[in-house]
Structures are given as C-alpha cells and as structure tokens.
Amino acid sequence: MEKSILLVEDEKDIAQLLQLHLVDCCAEVVWVDNGHEGLRNALQRSWDLIILDLRLPGISGLEICRQVRSSQSYVPILMLTAKSTELDRVLGLEIGADDYVTKPFSVQELVARVKAIFRRCDAMGRAVSQHEEGATLVAGSIVLDVDKRQVLQEGSAVELTAKEFDLLHHFLSHPGRVFSRTQLLDSVWGYGHDGYEHTVNSHINRLRSKIEPDPAKPTHILTVWGVGYRFGQ
C-alpha cells in the first residue's frame, strides 16, 4: 500500500531532491513550502509521515509539531534541522517529534530513516492487531492499554507522545531487561546509528518527567551506567 508523506520544506532544491528519492519508499509526497500551508495540510488529512523543516516562513516547524500533537495525532514526525540549532532539536523532541536529521544530510540516510519509520509503524500495527481487545500491560501503578494507546498512573491519564508511548510499551514488554541506546534506537525507532543517542536521551528524560514521582530520582526507568536503561517497578 502506498504511503503518504507531507513534506514541509521552504528550500526548493532540497524538497525536489527528496520528492525524487522518496518515490523509492512507494510514497505519495505532498510538498508545501511554508508554515501556514504545512499546518493546514497536517491537520486536514491523515498522513503516514510528516517531514518538517523547523525553520519555516510563516509558522515555525516547532509550532506545527506542537499543534499536530495537541490534536492527538500519532503521525510520525521527522525534523530537518541545522547543526547549529541543538536547542530547537531538543525542543522538537520534547514536544513530540519522533526523530531528526541535521542539514546538510545524506539523502540516502534520510530515505533509510523513512523506510525504518514505515517498517516500525507496520510492525507496531501488526503487534497491536494480534492483541485481544482490552489488552493491557501493568507495572506497579502504571497501566498501559495497547489498543487505546492510553497510559494510566494511579488511575489518572498520562499524556504521552506517540514515540513516548512506543518507548514505554517496549520497556513494559521486556521487564527488567537492560537496553543500550543503540538497541532502543533499533527497536523503537527502527534503526541504530552512532551519534543519534541524544534522541533516546531526550525521550527518556521526557518520559521520566511524566511517569516518575521524582524525575531526579527515577524508580521506573533506571539508568544502568555504561550500558543503557532498564525498567524497574
């Protein structure tokens, strides 16, 4: 089945190059070159992926990301950022972007990332379809409803982004197991590349801020120094 991608990028040469190569992903690519059109299109229909430049005329990519997540959309969002905008990358990950690629980037790498996102989404879809209706994972006071993609802590709903949910789901599915950052990139994001561990760190920190009684002294997502992370009760 053909995938649909919304590409929000104001640099024409980059956008046309990406459109050309993303055909390899069997994807329909709709390109817009400004933030206003990007936001309108993002909210107007369902997409399999949004590729979003953070620096846009009109409305910033960060604001588009924030509004898409506020609409309770779980569409994967891949950010395009400049190397000099680390703060923007951190903010983007914290408000719900799934991943980022820094400019200048290899088109082959970006296409590989897109394919990995699609593989991961398809795998998650198959896994969910195999669960019985109402299937849940429980760890202490945390209850994760697989079908509803809902998390409760002590009976109260916890608002998670799509990738935060996937990360927590992965931990709860493997209680006590230690995962390196590279393993988490491979399992949750669908790829593992050195240099992108910050993506994992940002999501771990954000998830801790939402489920830990004291994020500075976590009791659920534990750091295993020199190795990675594991989930404790």
pLDDT of residue 124: 61
The CA-CA-CA angle for residues 162, 166, 170, to 5°, reads: 170
**Cα(42)–Cα(183) distance, rounded to whole angstroms?**
31
Closest CA to 223 of 169, 184, 189, 188: 184
What is the average pLDDT across 132-136? 61
Give start and end residues of each alpha helix (H) in the chain.
12-22, 35-44, 61-70, 86-94, 107-130, 162-173, 181-184, 197-211
**Cα(196)–Cα(191) distance, rounded to whole angstroms?**
10
What is the secondary structure of 56-122 as a DSSP string? -SSS-HHHHHHHHHHTT----EEEEEETT-HHHHHHHHHTT--EEEEES--HHHHHHHHHHHHHHHH
pLDDT tens-digit profile of 97-106? Answer: 888 888 888 8
Could you give all domains of the chain from N- to C-terminal order, each with its CATH number? 3-123 (3.40.50.2300), 132-231 (1.10.10.10)
| pLDDT of 194 over the 60 cut | no
How does the average pLDDT of the chain come out, rounded? 83
pLDDT of residue 127: 53
pTM beyond 0.85, yes or no: no
The single residue listed with the structure tokens 């939402």 is 210
Q: Which tokens in the block code for residue 136? A: 């849940």
pLDDT tens-digit profile of 137-158? Answer: 888 889 998 877 889 888 888 8
**Cα(70)–Cα(90) distance, rounded to whole angstroms?**
18
pLDDT of residue 132: 46
**Cα(159)–Cα(157) distance, rounded to whole angstroms?**
6
**Cα(83)–Cα(203) distance, rounded to whole angstroms?**
19
**Cα(109)–Cα(103) distance, rounded to whole angstroms?**
12
Q: Yes or no: say if 17 and 107 are a contact pair by the CB < 8 Å rule.
A: yes
pLDDT tens-digit profile of 79-103? Answer: 888 765 667 777 777 777 888 888 8
